[in-house]
Homo-oligomer: A and B are copies of this chain.
Amino acid sequence: MNLELLGYSAAVITTSSFIPQVYKIYQTKSARDVSLVMFTFFSTGVILWLIYGLILLSWPIIFANTATLIMSLCILFMKIKYDRRGGSKSA
């Protein structure tokens, strides 16, 4: 198997996996079981990956992490919004 194709497949699958999570929270208006700490740390790490990609000028790293960051921030934003509305405890 082509190594580059393997890397791109891995990047596309891990990145697009966040779409159903964004959709699920948006649809149910609930993110009680989603960890605020996870997505705060995750978004921070993805920003570092993005800076890393920008320095290396690696377009696969830049594109994959920009898409992941947008979805991770969407999850974080909805988590804060819906938890506040529902009044549930966050962790």
Question: Which residues from chain A sit less than 8 Å from chain B, CB to CB?
Answer: 3, 6-7, 9-21, 23-25, 27-28, 30-35, 37-42, 44-46, 48-49, 51-52, 55-56, 91
**How many identical chains are in the complex?**
2
In the bound complex, how far is the Cα of B56 from the Cα of A55, in angstroms? 22
In the bound complex, how far is the Cα of B32 from the Cα of A10, in angstroms? 26
In the bound complex, how far is the Cα of B10 from the Cα of A56, in angstroms? 14
30 residue pairs bridging A and B, Cβ less than 8 Å apart = A3-B52, A3-B56, A7-B49, A9-B45, A10-B45, A10-B46, A10-B49, A13-B42, A13-B44, A14-B45, A17-B37, A17-B38, A17-B42, A17-B45, A18-B38, A18-B42, A20-B35, A20-B37, A20-B38, A21-B34, A21-B35, A21-B37, A24-B33, A24-B37, A24-B91, A27-B91, A30-B33, A31-B33, A32-B32, A33-B33
